[in-house]
Amino acid sequence: MKIRSSLISSIALAVLIAGSAKAEDTIKIGNLIVTSGVLKSIAEPAVVAADIAVAEINASGGINGKKVELVRYETASDPKQAAVGARKLIQDDGVLAILGPFSSAESAVAFNDAERGKVLMIPNTASTPGLTDGKTYAWRLSEDEEKQFGRLLKTIKEKGIKSDTAAIVYISDEAVSNAAGTKLYPSLLTKYGIKFGEPIAVQYKSFDMSAQAAQIIQANPDLVAIAGTPPSASKVVKELRRQGYKGRIIGSQIFADPNIVELFGPEGEGTMVVSSFSEASSERAKKFNDLFVAEAEKRGIHKLGAHHSDAQTYDSLFLMKQLMEKTKVTGNPAKLAEEREAINKAMTGVTFTGIVGKDICFAGHDAELPGYIIEIKGGKWTEFAEVPADPCK
C-alpha cells in the first residue's frame, strides 16, 4: 500500500496540535518512552506507533469531545528513571493513565508507583511471567513470554522439525535476555523433552563469542535457542554460521522483529520466532503496518514491519479510549482521583478488539493474545503457523 505524504503530514500535525493544547482542554495520558540506552533500537519505534494512534483518535473527535495529549518522559532504558517518570506523570502532570514503560525490567519498578498513585499503567511490551501478580493498577496488553515460547516449541514438535537437542545462548548483560536464557528456556525445553546443556552466557558490551560458538559447533545440537534483542541476537547468529553451524536458530518474542531479516542476512534463513502481531491478521492491521513503516522511515527509523510492541502500543491507546469513553471522563483536575479510579475499574471484565486480536479478554490482569509462529524463508518474514488466543477463565 502506498501512503500519501499528505496523510503522514496530517499525523505529525495532529500530534503537534495535541501536544500544544491547553491542559484543561485535553485528556492527558502519560507516556514513558525510550529513545536512548540499550533498548533504543527496539523501543523508539513505539513512539511512532503511539503518535499514529493519537492522530487517529484526535482526527475522529478525540475522547469525549476533547483532544488527547500525550505527556512524555524519557527513561533512557533505566528502571530507576521509569519510576521517576511515573511519579512525575502522576504527581506533577496529572495524567489520567499511563502508557509504558517499555520493558519488563522498567515495569517491575514503575508498577509500584502506579499502585501508590492509583493510576492505570499499561506497558508497551513487558512479557515476563507473573509481572502483574498482586497488582491492582498494572495491566498488560502483551502476551506472557513463557506462553509464547511454549507455543513455538509445541509447533516445532507438531510439525516434525528435528528437535531432540538444543543449546541455549543468552546475553548476560541484558536483563530480559538473562532471565529468558537462565530460567524460561531451560524450563520449557525440559517440558517438551528437548535435551540441552548448561546455558551459555555472552556479554554484549565486550562481544566476542568465538569460543562459545565453537563449543556449540562441537555439540552440534538440532536447535540453538537465543535469548537476546535483535542486534545482539544477530551477532550470535552470524558467528554461529561463520563457524559452520547448520541447525535451526529459534527465539522468543525478544527478537521477533521483522528487521531481523536484514540484521541476520542470509545466515538467518530458517530462523523461527513467535510474535503476538501479524499484519496479515486483518485489513486494519495491514493498514497500520504500512502507515507505521512509512512514518518511521520519515523519522529516520528503518523498519521492515511493525514489531508486536509497536502494535501493542497502538492498541493500548485505543483501549484507553474505550475505557475513558465508557466512564465519561472529563479531564477536569478537580475530578482527577475519581476519574483515574473509574478508568481502572472499567478494566475488570473488559473485552477489546484491535490490531493484535479480536474480542481480547484478560485473564487476571494480562491479555490473552494469539501467537504467530514466524519463519525466515527465502529471505522473507513468513507466517509458519497461527495459534489462537487462550480463553479467559
Residues 169, 199, single domain; the answer is yes
Q: Report which of residues 249 and 207 the model is more confident about.
A: 249
CB 48 within 8 A of CB 33: no
Considering the domain boundaries, does residue 155 fall inside one? yes
Burial class of residue 201, CB neighbours in 10 A (0-12, 13-18, 19+)? middle
Residues 126, 68, single domain; the answer is yes
Buried b (16+ CB within 10 A) or exposed e, 329-346: bbbeeeebeebbebbbeb
Structure confidence at residue 9 (pLDDT): 43
Residues 237, 310, single domain; the answer is no
What single-letter DSSP state applies at residue 140? B
Structure confidence at residue 261 (pLDDT): 97
Residues 18, 138, single domain; the answer is yes
Structure confidence at residue 128 (pLDDT): 86
Residue in 128, 305, 161 with CA at minimum distance from that of residue 227: 128
Considering the domain boundaries, does residue 195 fall inside one? yes
pTM confidence score: 0.90
Residues 266, 176, single domain; the answer is yes
Residues 296, 327, single domain; the answer is yes
Structure confidence at residue 277 (pLDDT): 96
Residues 248, 380, single domain; the answer is yes
Residues 29, 121, single domain; the answer is yes
Furthest C-alpha separation in the chain: 67
Considering the domain boundaries, does residue 131 fall inside one? yes
What single-letter DSSP state applies at residue 281? G
CATH number of the CATH domain containing 213 = 3.40.50.2300
Residues 210, 270, single domain; the answer is yes
Tens-digit pLDDT profile for residues 40-69: 988 999 999 999 999 999 999 999 999 999
For the beta carbon of residue 284, count every other beta carbon within 10 angstroms: 12
Residues 189, 265, single domain; the answer is yes
Question: How does DSSP assign 53-110, residue by residue?
Answer: HHHHHHHTT-BTTBEEEEEEEE-TT-HHHHHHHHHIIIIIS--SEEE--SSHHHHHHH
Considering the domain boundaries, does residue 366 fall inside one? no
Residue in 172, 43, 171 with CA at minimum distance from that of residue 104: 43
Least confident of 5-19, 90-104, 105-119: 5-19
Residues 125, 34, single domain; the answer is yes
Residue in 209, 303, 291 with CA at minimum distance from that of residue 259: 303
Report the domain count for the chain: 2
C-alpha to C-alpha distance for 373 and 253, rounded to whole angstroms: 10
C-alpha to C-alpha distance for 289 and 307, rounded to whole angstroms: 9
Domain that holds residue 253: 145-275+372-387
Tens-digit pLDDT profile for residues 258-301: 999 999 999 999 999 999 999 999 999 999 999 999 999 999 99
